[in-house]
Amino acid sequence: MKRVYIFFILVFSFLVLPFYLTAYSLSDLNEAAGLNNPDLQKLQQEYERSLLDVKDAKAGLGPTVDLQLAGTYMLNPPVDAIYLNVDDLLNSINWPSGMTPSSSGQYIKVYDGIENTMYTFQLSITQPVFTWGKLENAVRLYKQVSEIKQTQYLSKKQTLEAEIETRLTGLFYLKEILEILNEEKEYAQRLVETSENAEKSGMLLHQDVVEARIQAKELEIAEQDVNEQIKNQLLELEQISGISGLTIENINYSIDDAEIEKIMALNRDEVEKQALSGNQLSIKMLTQLQEVNKIAEQIAKGYVNWKPDLALQASASYGGSRFPFVETNWRRKNDYSLNVSLGIKTTVWDGGKKIHDVSRKISESKTADINKSDAYSTIKQTLSKQWNTVDVCTMKIEYQELKLEAADSKIKQKETIFQSGYGSETDVLNAKIDRCNQLIEKERQSLTRSIACLTIKALVE
């Protein structure tokens, strides 16, 4: 019985526990975001629709074939059968005397009347011949728009991946800070107990005890604030990736210090040059928008007054009481037709609307140029701010390391004095609390510097 119980425990461990111990890495979250993020899915659908628009534009270059079929059944046809009286026909003839035929009283059917059924068939083909490049430019336009949609998708995906990495970096440092706060809370709690005992023995004032309690309460508030930040970061990651139930325990991510150092060591002029190159997705998209506006301007010029469009149309039709080639003597009835037409259409005068359209497109092209120039300035400004953040944070980290070194020396000194019987435990605890505060500040500066480096990395990818 004991073996069976152990067997079930092992089965539970191998089958159930992995679901609770799932760890998500950066690549896992990026992959999940690519599959589940609603913004990405919308952009993907927009790109798919843009490909259909390209196909529609290409179809406009070829012929349009229309087929019309109509059938009618008449219960009471408007024209019945027509008969002629044979006697009337014979009497209308001037016969020689003595040869007048006798009356027969017979009738001859000369027309069967309209049949109950009537069919109409028409096949027409329309082929554009010359449109001043409007159709060709429309194909180019929709191709360019489709490329923009694809660039938007890739840019959004890149932005989400950068955001995921940034939030994971925040979680990593917040977790480190939380661990330091837990350690500091132990020192603070011990400080409160020691202060209360010292107050009872008359060695400390009540004010010192209250200050120790305030310090402990501040740490509780700080811990709550960090936990709230962690919760918010996890909620944002859930929204981006579509994975529900994320916890700090099932996040498998650590800072790659070597990568941060590598980014910090990059040549800043080369970084700016790369960020402003045409391969950068935001710059690439703006360049594509410029091209779209230029093509739209060319299309608008094709609609200017007195620029006719030419099209060729051929049509074949048939109408009769029976299907084609089935009707009796259909060729002699002349119920079919074959026509070829050449159409010309142009706008002679519209109050200047077409000319205004051209001016409007020219203005939009200039706006696209301005947007691209503004994007260059924004990227340069962002890079400058991030590099400045990296430099300032690096100096502050070095400063905190010196303070930590001094704090370690102070702790050893206070412990030595306390062990010799000349100092108090509160001095040692205050020194350790101070060291924890310096360590937390160092982690905050490291977080800010890492995010700045990741922002620089995102700008050059």
3-state SS, one letter per residue, for 240-263: HHCCCCCCCCCECCCCCHHHHHHH
Torsion angle in degrees (nearest 10) through CA of 221, 227, 230, 232: -80
Assess whether 114 and 248 both reside in one domain: no
Judging by beta carbons within 10 Å of its beta carbon (0-12, 13-18, 19+), is residue 402 exposed, middle or buried? exposed
> Could you tell me if residue 93 is inside a domain?
no
Which string of DSSP letters, residue by residue, matches 57-91? HHHTTS-EEEEEEEEEE-SS-SS--EEEEHHHHHH
DSSP character at residue 24: B
The neighbour count for residue 329, using CB atoms within 10 Å, is 6
In the predicted structure, residue 14 carries a pLDDT above the cut 50: no
DSSP character at residue 15: H
Assess whether 440 and 335 both reside in one domain: no
> Could you tell me if residue 252 is inside a domain?
yes
Q: Report the interhelical angle of 38-59 vs 26-36 (nearest 10°).
A: 50
Per-residue pLDDT, averaged over 127-156, amounts to 93
Per-residue pLDDT, averaged over 75-98, amounts to 76
In the predicted structure, residue 441 carries a pLDDT above the cut 80: yes
Boundary (domain end) residue, out of 322, 345, 368: 345
Report d(CA 450, CA 175) in Å as an integer.
15
> Could you tell me if residue 142 is inside a domain?
yes
Q: How far is CA 219 from the centre of its chain?
A: 42
Side chain identity at residue 221, one-letter code:
I
Q: What pLDDT is stored for residue 174 in this prediction?
A: 97
Three-state SS sequence of 345-357: ECCCCCCCHHHHH
What pLDDT, in 10s, does the model give residues 203-212?
777 888 899 8
> Could you tell me if residue 94 is inside a domain?
no
Q: What percent of the chain has pLDDT over 90?
A: 62
Q: What pLDDT is stored for residue 15 in this prediction?
A: 43
In the predicted structure, residue 7 carries a pLDDT above the cut 70: no
**Residue 186 dihedral angles phi and psi, to the nearest 5°:** -65, -40
In the predicted structure, residue 438 carries a pLDDT above the cut 60: yes
Report d(CA 335, CA 319) in Å as an integer.
5
> Could you tell me if residue 13 is inside a domain?
no
> Could you tell me if residue 426 is inside a domain?
yes
First to last CA, the chain: 61
Give the helix/strand (H/E) hosting 117.
strand 117-130
Assess whether 296 and 324 both reside in one domain: no
- Residue 214, token pair as written in the block: 């305030």
Q: What pLDDT is stored for residue 12 in this prediction?
A: 43
Q: What pLDDT is stored for residue 19 in this prediction?
A: 42
β-pair partners for 203: none
Assess whether 125 and 224 both reside in one domain: no
Assess whether 51 and 68 both reside in one domain: no
Map tokens 């010196």 to a residue: 402
Q: How confident is the model at residue 329 (pLDDT cuts 50, 70, 90)?
A: low
**Does residue 142 contact residue 292 with C-beta atoms inside 8 Å?**
no
Assess whether 119 and 243 both reside in one domain: no
DSSP character at residue 343: E
What pLDDT, in 10s, does the model give residues 26-57?
999 999 999 999 999 999 999 999 999 999 99
> Could you tell me if residue 140 is inside a domain?
yes
Assess whether 282 and 423 both reside in one domain: yes
Assess whether 119 and 250 both reside in one domain: no
> Could you tell me if residue 2 is inside a domain?
no
Assess whether 191 and 320 both reside in one domain: no
pTM for this structure? 0.82
Assess whether 423 and 294 both reside in one domain: yes
Angle at 417 between CA 414 and CA 422, to 5 degrees: 130
β-pair partners for 123: 67, 316
Report d(CA 253, CA 404) in Å as an integer.
26
Side chain identity at residue 369, one-letter code:
D
The residue range of the domain holding 110 is 63-78+106-130+314-345
Boundary (domain end) residue, out of 345, 365, 392: 345
Lowest mean pLDDT among 130-144, 260-274, 339-353: 339-353
Q: What pLDDT is stored for residue 323 in this prediction?
A: 65
Q: How many domains is the chain built from?
A: 2
Assess whether 72 and 198 both reside in one domain: no
Mean pLDDT score of the chain: 87
Give the helix/strand (H/E) hosting 121.
strand 117-130
What pLDDT, in 10s, does the model give residues 213-248?
999 999 999 999 999 999 999 999 999 999 999 999
CATH number at residue 434: 1.20.1600.10
Assess whether 293 and 410 both reside in one domain: yes
Q: How confident is the model at residue 333 (pLDDT cuts 50, 70, 90)?
A: low
